[in-house]
Chains A and B, each alone.
Chain A
Amino acid sequence: MNAIVETLAAAPRPQHSAARTVAAKEWLELRRDPRGRLLAAFMALLMLVALVGGAVRYERGHLERDAAQDADRSLWNSQGEKDAHSAAHFGQWAFKPPSVLALADPGVDAYSGGAVWMEAHKRNEMQFRPARDSGVTARMGGLTLAFVLQAVLPLVIIVLGFNALSGERERGTLRQLLGQGVRPQALALGKGLALLRGLAWLLLPLAVLLTLSGALLAEPGQGAGAAQRALAWVGAHALYLAGFVALTLAVSALARSSRAALVTLLALWLLATFVAPRVMTEVARSTVALPSAQEFRERISAERAKTFGHDETHPAFAAYKAELLAQYKVQRVEDLPLNFRGLALRRDDETGYAIYDRLFDQLDAAITRQDRLRQAPGALLPLLAMQPLSMALAGTDTRHHRHFAQAAEAHRRVIQKLTSEDLIRNQRYGDTGYVSPATLWAKVPAFDYPPPSTAWALQGARGALAFLLGWVLLSTGLAALAVRRLRAV
């Protein structure tokens, strides 16, 4: 015995912190736990299915969209000789290209129109919500990576960690550990580290796969952007899940029994993941009102009644005519050096633009106010912050759709400008048989829509990111407080 004691005292040994020791032992137990292995396999399978399903969906949508856009472009180019203004009325269609990261989080893509008609005189709204055709059950959610990471993984964390501290107390090992001088903070930290390590084993391969998928599926030149978004997306979810690790440990420390801990955690998960999003939607909807489609159209008509359009009896038409005659110092419209019809059309367009900009911006602002209100409790109910952030990074939130709509509107103005310019320069006043040459149409540049950058996406989701960080801080703070009060008896 004495020899042993002497040997013990003599040799120098590496010092291991208590937290690290606990983490190593917890990880060993987790690896050996059949429950843990089963869950890990199931999660990996779910994630893989979601990833592949998302990739297939993206590729299909992307090919369809490209084909449609090309087909529409050829239709536009093949109009033949035609009155330029009729061509402007024929217009072009803009089809929104799906964002690559939509394979991870399809966001509001199914609920937001994917196409807009760029026609003369009118700024249209986006049309064709795919969800309308998908049926009732589609509202119950799809098997997407976002669903797995936001709804299912927190449950896995709860299942693996609900008895982390309460179980030790019930088993009696907590008494032994505290009795020999282990600080409860070290114990909790070690358990937290082991859970995070398990998460890392699931999330790191996912990050690699998602980044590769994004880079490979993206358009040439956009691979880097897609990779950035993918990494940021997984990183944001890592924060969200880390908060759940802290919450689980906190409840496990505070609860009187493991059963109470489990029930409490499940209730909190249900509240945060199911009840809060829907209730906050109701709150946002009843607090900030949106106009109905009819009201919006009527508002537009009322404003546009001040412009003359094709109505030559309108007072503004006469006023514009007088203004032009004075400007060019002639007596009759026939004497104007440029075509009056073309000039009138261009003037009408420009007044229209200002009206549309104002009214559409008002509508967009109301929707943004609703969304900001909805995500306000995000620090306490993390999904309310995680969802908007996830959609922003995936490029599938309302702001991204709005960005596309604005790009389409800009292109519509390019079309109008081209057709009006042709009339202004080349049509002689009174020549109703004038048709623009077939080569004119190809002069409109193809509608090209490059996806916005990750930085732009994050900028719009600043609030959500702040709330998410708040969530991590709050849950970690709660865990620290709960663990300090940990009692062995």
Chain B
Amino acid sequence: MLEARSLSKRYGDTLALDRLDLTVAPGEVFCLLGPNGAGKTTTVNLFLNFVSPTSGQALVCGIDAEKEPQRARRALAYIPEMVTLYPALSGLENLGYFSTLADGVQRPQGELLRLLTQAGLDAARAAQKVGGYSKGMRQKVGIAIAMARGARALLLDEPTSGLDPRAANEFAASIDALRRQGVAVLMVTHDLFLARQCATRVGIMQRGRLVTVLDAATVDPAGLERVYLESSMEEGLTA
């Protein structure tokens, strides 16, 4: 599971994250919403220990990300907004590479293919060079990598930006499958529809603070949008 305890990050004069308290339980999908500059990406970077917190703790399955970054990262799977792969290698080879790096285990071709098809990639494209993949296909490889590692926590950064509706739908299905396995999922997104579709809980961030946390089941998409915009206006920001 993922836990942020009074997590703060200051860059010079700017307070990018202000005492964030957040818990994502196993089997829970938490969607983090908010305008650009609200602190969502900073939160992700803190869990990954790409930056160090000014105060507070970011815990991954009980491991402090600041004190033991390598252990924390190994318990975590991360799918960035742009899943970057090696264009000269095929989908299977990329998956093999990243998954072997994670745990040192070299998986046979059959298993790699199963992971890719499980993530929704067309089996015929799996052996082709990644240089020719669309964004959606690359993201499926990213999901397959996360699945292969069997991580207990998953971080996602704008996963559906640039995806067509069908790909976004397939993606939501994959997330649901992972949730049912007991993975704790923290998703940063602008996509209100996706948030409503996937999330267990939704959090809205403003200027480094988590201002609203809702149960996703309690709102419909329209309602969610209203709450989002109201939150923005309360803080004096225009949409």
Q: Which residues of A contact B (CB under 8 A)?
A: 1-2, 4-5, 7-8, 13-18, 21-22, 25, 28-29, 32-33, 171-173, 175-183, 487-489
Residue of A nearest to B47 (CB): A179
Q: Contact at A25–B89, with CB atoms within 8 Å?
A: yes
Chain B residues whose CB sits within 8 angstroms of the CB of A4 once the complex forms: 111, 114-115, 118
**Dominant SS among interface residues on chain A:** helix
Known contacts A4-B118, A14-B106, A179-B78; A33/B88 CB under 8 A: yes
Q: Which of A7, A18, A177 contacts B104 (CB 8 A)?
A: A18
Give 12 CB contacts A-B under 8 Å. A5-B150, A7-B111, A13-B106, A16-B105, A29-B86, A171-B84, A175-B80, A176-B98, A177-B98, A178-B50, A183-B70, A487-B50
Which residues, 51 to 103 on B, are CB-close (under 8 Å) to A? Answer: 51, 70-71, 73-74, 76-78, 80, 82-86, 88-89, 93, 97-98, 100-102
Chain B residues whose CB sits within 8 angstroms of the CB of A25 once the complex forms: 86, 89, 93, 97
B62 to chain A, nearest CB (A): 16
In Å, the complex CA distance between A205 and B50 comes to 44
Chain A residues whose CB sits within 8 angstroms of the CB of B84 once the complex forms: 171-173, 175-176
A164 to chain B, nearest CB (A): 13
Q: Contact at A1–B177, with CB atoms within 8 Å?
A: yes
In Å, the complex CA distance between A176 and B93 comes to 16
B149 to chain A, nearest CB (A): 7
Q: Contact at A16–B104, with CB atoms within 8 Å?
A: yes
A367 to chain B, nearest CB (A): 53
Q: Contact at A15–B105, with CB atoms within 8 Å?
A: yes
- Binary flags per residue of B123-151, CB closer than 8 Å to A gives 1, else 0: 00000000000000000000001000110
Chain A residues whose CB sits within 8 angstroms of the CB of B74 once the complex forms: 180-181
Chain B residues whose CB sits within 8 angstroms of the CB of A5 once the complex forms: 150, 181
Residue of B nearest to A186 (CB): B101
Chain B residues whose CB sits within 8 angstroms of the CB of A183 once the complex forms: 70
In Å, the complex CA distance between A182 and B48 comes to 12
In Å, the complex CA distance between A33 and B145 comes to 25
Chain B residues whose CB sits within 8 angstroms of the CB of A177 once the complex forms: 98, 101
Chain B residues whose CB sits within 8 angstroms of the CB of A18 once the complex forms: 101, 104
Cβ of B212 < 8 Å from any Cβ of A?
no
Q: Contact at B149–A180, with CB atoms within 8 Å?
A: yes
A275 to chain B, nearest CB (A): 36
Residue of A nearest to B84 (CB): A172
Known contacts A8-B150, A181-B74; A29/B100 CB under 8 A: no
Q: Contact at A173–B85, with CB atoms within 8 Å?
A: yes
| Most B-side CB within 10 Å, residue of A2, A5, A179, A487 | A179
Cβ of B169 < 8 Å from any Cβ of A?
no
A35 to chain B, nearest CB (A): 11
B202 to chain A, nearest CB (A): 24
B170 to chain A, nearest CB (A): 15
In Å, the complex CA distance between A183 and B71 comes to 11
Chain A residues whose CB sits within 8 angstroms of the CB of B80 once the complex forms: 172, 175-176, 179
B159 to chain A, nearest CB (A): 14
In Å, the complex CA distance between A29 and B107 comes to 19
Residue of B nearest to A25 (CB): B97
Q: Contact at A180–B98, with CB atoms within 8 Å?
A: yes
Residue of B nearest to A180 (CB): B102
B92 to chain A, nearest CB (A): 12
Chain B residues whose CB sits within 8 angstroms of the CB of A1 once the complex forms: 118, 177, 181
Q: Which of B45, B78, B105 contacts A13 (CB 8 A)?
A: B105
Known contacts A1-B118, A22-B101, A28-B93; A172/B82 CB under 8 A: yes
| Most A-side CB within 10 Å, residue of B84, B85, B118, B145 | B84
A183 to chain B, nearest CB (A): 7
In Å, the complex CA distance between A171 and B84 comes to 7
In Å, the complex CA distance between A19 and B79 comes to 23
Q: Which of B45, B48, B97, B149 contacts A21 (CB 8 A)?
A: B97
Residue of A nearest to B41 (CB): A489
Q: Contact at A180–B78, with CB atoms within 8 Å?
A: yes
Q: Contact at B48–A179, with CB atoms within 8 Å?
A: yes
In Å, the complex CA distance between A18 and B74 comes to 13
In Å, the complex CA distance between A78 and B45 comes to 92
Residue of B nearest to A19 (CB): B101
Chain A residues whose CB sits within 8 angstroms of the CB of B104 once the complex forms: 15-18, 21
In Å, the complex CA distance between A22 and B145 comes to 16
In Å, the complex CA distance between A178 and B48 comes to 9
Known contacts A25-B97, A172-B84; A180/B77 CB under 8 A: yes
In Å, the complex CA distance between A137 and B149 comes to 62
Q: Contact at B100–A16, with CB atoms within 8 Å?
A: yes
Chain A residues whose CB sits within 8 angstroms of the CB of B105 once the complex forms: 13-16
B28 to chain A, nearest CB (A): 18
| Most B-side CB within 10 Å, residue of A14, A15, A32, A176 | A176
In Å, the complex CA distance between A179 and B106 comes to 20
Q: Contact at A182–B101, with CB atoms within 8 Å?
A: yes
Residue of A nearest to B74 (CB): A181
B228 to chain A, nearest CB (A): 28
Q: Contact at A28–B89, with CB atoms within 8 Å?
A: yes
B196 to chain A, nearest CB (A): 24
B180 to chain A, nearest CB (A): 8
A182 to chain B, nearest CB (A): 5
Residue of B nearest to A31 (CB): B88
Chain B residues whose CB sits within 8 angstroms of the CB of A178 once the complex forms: 50, 73
Rank and list the top 9 A-B pairs by shortest CB-CB distance, nearest first. A172-B84, A181-B73, A181-B74, A13-B105, A15-B104, A179-B78, A25-B97, A21-B100, A173-B84
Chain A residues whose CB sits within 8 angstroms of the CB of B86 once the complex forms: 25, 29, 173
B34 to chain A, nearest CB (A): 20
Residue of B nearest to A9 (CB): B150
Chain A residues whose CB sits within 8 angstroms of the CB of B177 once the complex forms: 1
Q: Which of B73, B82, B88, B89 contacts A179 (CB 8 A)?
A: B73
In Å, the complex CA distance between A15 and B101 comes to 10
Q: Contact at A489–B88, with CB atoms within 8 Å?
A: no
In Å, the complex CA distance between A397 and B153 comes to 65
Q: Which of A13, A21, A175 contacts B101 (CB 8 A)?
A: A21
Chain B residues whose CB sits within 8 angstroms of the CB of A489 once the complex forms: 45, 50-51
Chain B residues whose CB sits within 8 angstroms of the CB of A16 once the complex forms: 100, 104-106
A264 to chain B, nearest CB (A): 24
In Å, the complex CA distance between A488 and B45 comes to 10
Q: Which of A17, A29, A172 contacts B89 (CB 8 A)?
A: A29
Chain A residues whose CB sits within 8 angstroms of the CB of B76 once the complex forms: 179-180
